[in-house]
Amino acid sequence: MEVNIEARRILAVSISKLYASRSQRGGLRLHRSLLLSLVMKSARDIYHSSRESDAPSEAQSPPEEPMDTSSSPELPEPQPEPLSERNSSETAVEESDSEEEDYESDTAEDKENLSPARQSRKRRGKASAAPDFLPNKRARLEPGEERYASPVASCRTPLSDLDSGCFVVKIIFLLLNCGPSNVHWNIQVIKKQISEPATSACIARMLRRLVSFIHPP
């Protein structure tokens, strides 16, 4: 359990460093971003494995329990998840690098218009292809605006995770992709996707905690 707490703490520290490095003079440093993402990956893996080993004892606690995937058949199958989990740490590097590279991600599939029936979510081999749990770069809204025809693949993905730790990491990357003004939008969009009010409140709470960590009042 203490390892779990330590892992979460290191994860939180890493995230704030990654976020702070965006405004560094000279731009994002690839080496530093890579090292941060490696630490985050270690911390997340340890958090993940300690959560799994604690899972039987936590079967009764509803607030932290992630949504059951069987209740939402339109969600994509979980097997792409290990790929995206493994790569989520590299996405930090990829995200930082994509700011330095020419923008190629806009040539990737238009995630907004994906039909729910389309199951293939294999990661494209493009150098800067955005991971599928991040919104398309074009899909930015003004603060306060809400999206009704939401990106099917992107925001649904975190909710199919069985582990809230991984979900937290993915949301963090989602947050990192947006400036402070867009954070509120993200909470609203995600809340809309969730059908169960209890989980929605829990996730919103977690997001608020994360936001307050990254942007202290």
Partner 1 sequence: MAGPGGDMQWCFSQVKGAIDDDVAEADIISTVEFNHTGELLATGDKGGRVVIFQQEIDNKNVPQFRSEYNVYSTFQSHEPEFDYLKSLEIEEKINKIRWLPQKNAAQFLLSTNDKTIKLWKISERDKRPEGYNLKEEDGRYRDPNTITALRVPVLIPMDLMVEASPRRVFANAHTYHINSISVNSDNETYLSADDLRVNLWNLEITDRSFNIVDIKPANMEELTEVITAAEFHPHQCNTFVYSSSKGTIRLCDMRVSALCDKHSKLFEEPENPSNRSFFSEIISSISDVKFSHNGRYMMTRDYLSVKIWDLNMESRPVETYQVHEYLRSKLCSLYENDCIFDKFECCWNGNDSVVMTGSYNNFFRMFDRGHRRDATLEASRENSKPLQVLKPRKVCTGGKRKKDEISVDSLDFNKKILHTAWHPQDNIIAVATTNNLYIFQDKVN
Where along the sequence are the contacts to partner 1 (CB under 8 A)?
Answer: 6-7, 10, 13, 17, 25-27, 29-32, 34-35, 38-39, 42-43, 46, 87, 90-91, 93-94, 97-101, 123, 125-129, 131
Contact between 8 and 37 under an 8 Å Cβ cutoff? The reply is no
Nearer to partner 1, 130 or 190 (CB): 130
Nearer to partner 1, 43 or 152 (CB): 43
Q: Least distance in Å: CB of 69 to partner 1?
A: 25
Phi, psi for 26 (deg, rounded to 5): 90, 0
Nearer to partner 1, 100 or 146 (CB): 100
Q: Least distance in Å: CB of 114 to partner 1?
A: 20
20, two tokens: 């702070």
Q: Least distance in Å: CB of 68 to partner 1?
A: 29
120, two tokens: 């293939």
Nearer to partner 1, 133 or 207 (CB): 133
* Backbone dihedral region for residue 168 (phi beyond 0: left; psi -120 to 50: alpha; all else: beta): alpha
How many residues can be counted in the chain? 217
Q: Least distance in Å: CB of 66 to partner 1?
A: 25
Nearer to partner 1, 65 or 109 (CB): 109
Contact between 8 and 47 under an 8 Å Cβ cutoff? The reply is yes
Reduced to 3 states, what is the DSSP secondary structure of residue 163?
coil
Q: Is 124 exposed, middle or buried (0-12, 13-18, 19+ CB in 10 A)?
A: middle
Q: Least distance in Å: CB of 103 to partner 1?
A: 10
Nearer to partner 1, 154 or 199 (CB): 154
Q: Least distance in Å: CB of 102 to partner 1?
A: 8
Closest alpha carbon to 27 in 96, 76, 121, 112: 96
Closest alpha carbon to 123 in 112, 132, 115, 134: 132
